[in-house]
Amino acid sequence: MTDLKITQQILENRQALLSVEAPAQRVEEAMRAAAKDAAKRYTFPGFRPGKAPYHIIVQRLGRETLLQEAAERMGNELYSEAMIAAEIKAYGPGTLTSIDWDPLTFHFEVPLPPEADPGDYRSLRLPYTGVDEEELAQNLQKQIDAIRQEHAIWEPVDRPVAYGDLVTIAMKVRVNGEVVLENDDWDITPNAQNYTLTPIFDAAFIGMHAGEQKSFSTLFPADGDSAWAGEEGHFEVEVKSVKSWEIPPFDDDLAQEAADLPTAAALRQIIHDELRQRMQVEVDNEYQNRVFDALLAQATCNYPSVAVEYQLNVMLAEIDQRYRELGLQSLQEVLRITRQSQEEFREQLRPNAEKRLQLELVIQAIIEREQLVVSDYELQRSFQTAEFDDETLTELKERFDNNISYRAILMDTLLQQKGERLVLALAKGEEVPAPGEHVAEEAPPSGEHVAEEAPPSDEHLNV
C-alpha cells in the first residue's frame, strides 16, 4: 500500500505518462532533511554550524529552494514506488518530463514493452521458384569463358595482320620533311574504332605479313591531341612479327593448369556446384526478404522510440565488431576517415533498425502463439556443431555451463530462428505442426547417430 496519489495515461507508441503526487507530510519531511543539510553547508549568523532552526533556514534560503532540493531527494524514490504500486512493467528507464510544485507532483514518461500482432500469418503464401536452371547454365558458361580468358596468351601466327592482333613494328614518321618519330620495336594492336595514331595508320597494317614494308601518308586528325594535329605525316613501316590472342579450349590440360584437377569435367562440376550453392543462397535470401516484407505488411507493431535506439546500438556494435574481425580500425576510426559523424551514420541505419525491430517483434509474437520451445540438447548442439577452433569451443562451453545470461541469449536466438523457419515453411505451403504441437529435438538414444543441422551463424554466438 502506498500513500502516493498516482494517475497514469497510455500515450501513443507504447509510452505511459505517470503522474505522482507526493503526500504533504513526506514533502515536509524531505524539506526539513534538506534544511538540516543546508544548516551544515551554510553560515547562519547567531547559530553554530548545523544548529540553525528550520524556520530561520526557510527565511534565509526560501521555501522554493528547499522544495526544489526536496524534489531532487524524492524523485527516484517516488518513481520506483509508483512503478511498483501501479504495476507498470517498464521497457527502459523513465524520463522526468516536468514537476508541479503545489502540490508537489512529478510527471514521468515511461516506455512500455513493445507489442506486435502478426495477423493471419498462417495463411501467408508466396511462390518459391528455386534456382533458375537457365541462369545457372549461363553463369556456368561465363565462369568457364573467364577461366579461358585468364589463361589466354599471345601466340605468333603465320598469316596477314588482322584487327585485334598484337603487331610489332619498326616505324619512321616525317612531318614537313623532318623525322618526328622513330621506333624500331613498337607493339600496336590495330583497331578500327579506337585507332592508334590515325584511322588510316591502323588500317594500313591489315593484310601485311611479317617482314613486309610499306610507305604511306595520312593527315593527323585536326581535332586530335597529337603534336601534329591537322598536318600530314609520311610513314615508313615494317611489320616485324604478328601475334594472335589465343584462347585455350576448356579441356583437361586447362583444368590441370587452372585448378590442378585431372579433367575438364571435374572442374566443370566444381564450378557448377559452387555456382548452384551461391545462387541458392541468393534465391533463399531474396525469397526470405519477400516473405518477411509480406509478413510485416499484414502485421501491426507498436513500440516506444527507445526500442529503435536499442536496436541501433546493437547494429552499431555489430558493425564495429565486423570491422575489427576484418583487421580494420574501429567503426569510430572508419567514420573519422570518411568524414562522417556517428550521428549521421546512425540516421542512415535507422530505417533498417526499425524494420529489424519490427520483424523481431512479429516473430516473437508468433513464437508465443505457436508455443515454440528449445531443448537443452538443441542449445548444446548450436555451438558444438559450429566450426570453431578448440579454444573458442571450450570458451563457449564454459559460458553455456556457467552463464545464465548467455544461455538465455542463445535460447532467444534459436527461438527466433525457429520462428523465421516456420514462417518460411508456411509461405511455401509446407505441412507444419499446429500451434502448441511443436516438439523440440531431444538427444537421441545412446549410440544412435543423428544428422547434424546447420548451427546458428557465428554472429549470433558472439555475445
Segments in 304-384 forming alpha helices (H): 305-325, 331-337, 342-370, 376-384
| Most confident among 59-63, 72-76, 138-142 (mean pLDDT) | 138-142
* pLDDT at position 171 over 70: yes
> What is the spatial distance between Cα 211 and Cα 158, in angstroms, rounded to a whole number?
11
pLDDT tens digit sequence for 106-122: 999 999 999 999 999 99
Closest by CA to 441, choosing from 380, 387, 375, is 375
Is the pLDDT confidence value at 460 over 50? no
pLDDT of 448 reads 57
Tell me how far apart the alpha carbons of residues 209 and 206 are, in angstroms, rounded to a whole number.
9
How much is the average pLDDT of 29-52?
A: 88
Q: Give the DSSP H or E segment for 217.
A: strand 213-219
> For residue 263, which phi and psi values (nearest 5 degrees)?
-140, 160
What is the rounded average pLDDT for all residues in the chain?
A: 91
User: Which has the closest alpha carbon to 311: 92, 116, 117?
Assistant: 92
* 75 CB-contact burial (10 Å; exposed 0-12 / middle 13-18 / buried 19+): middle
In this structure, the strands spanning 232-246 and 166-175 are antiparallel
At residue 456, does pLDDT exceed 50?
no
d(CA 203, CA 161): 10
193 grid coordinates: 574504332
pLDDT at 454: 47
Q: Under a CB-based contact definition with an 8 Å cutoff, are residues 421 and 366 in contact?
A: no
pLDDT at residue 452 tops 80: no
Sign of CA dihedral 366, 371, 372, 374: positive
Residue range(s) occupied by CATH 3.10.50.30 in the chain: 153-246
Q: CA 21, CA 8: separation in Å to the nearest integer?
A: 12
**Taking 70 as the threshold, does the pLDDT of residue 288 lie above it?**
yes
Mean pLDDT of 255-267: 96
Neighbours of 171 (CB within 10 A): 17
Residue 86, C-beta contacts closer than 8 angstroms, at least 6 positions apart? 6, 8, 18
The Cα–Cα gap between 196 and 111 comes to 71
Tens of pLDDT, residue by residue over 390-400, are 777 777 778 77
Note whether 297 and 104 are within 8 A (CB): no
Q: How confident is the model at residue 462 (pLDDT cuts 50, 70, 90)?
A: very low
Extract the C-alpha cell encoding 5.
Answer: 496519489
Q: Once rounded to an integer, what is the mean pLDDT over residues 91-102? A: 94
CA atoms of 275 and 134, how far apart (whole Å): 12
d(CA 191, CA 202): 6
C-alpha span between 108 and 7 (Å, rounded): 11
Q: 392 in helix, strand or coil?
A: helix
Model confidence at 280: pLDDT above 90: yes
> 9, 17 in Cβ contact below 8 A?
yes
* CATH number belonging to the domain at 153-246, selected among 3.40.50.2300, 3.30.950.10, 1.10.3720.10, 3.10.50.30: 3.10.50.30
Please tell me whether the peptide bond between 103 and the residue prior to it is cis, using omega within 30 degrees of 0: yes
Please give the Cα distance from 109 to 429 (Å, whole number).
Answer: 45
**Contact, 94 vs 16, CB < 8 A?**
no
DSSP 236: E
- The arrangement of secondary structure in 5-113, i.e. its CATH architecture, is 2-Layer Sandwich (3.30)
> What's residue 388's pLDDT?
66
Give dist(CA 14, CA 109) in Å, integer: 10
This prediction's pTM: 0.74
Cβ atoms of 261 and 270 within 8 Å: the answer is: yes
Give the total residue count for the chain.
Answer: 463
The tens digit of pLDDT for each residue in 330-378 reads 888 888 888 999 999 999 999 999 999 999 999 999 999 999 999 988 9
Q: Are 142 and 51 in contact, with CB atoms under 8 Å apart?
A: no
Q: Where along the chain do the CATH 3.30.70.1050 domains lie?
A: 5-113
What's the pLDDT band for 455 if we cut at 50, 70, 90?
very low
The one-character DSSP state at 176 is: T
CA 79/CA 88 separation, integer angstroms: 11
Write out pLDDT tens, residues 302-320: 999 999 999 999 999 999 9
pLDDT at 387: 65
Rounded Cα gap, residues 167 and 105, in angstroms = 93
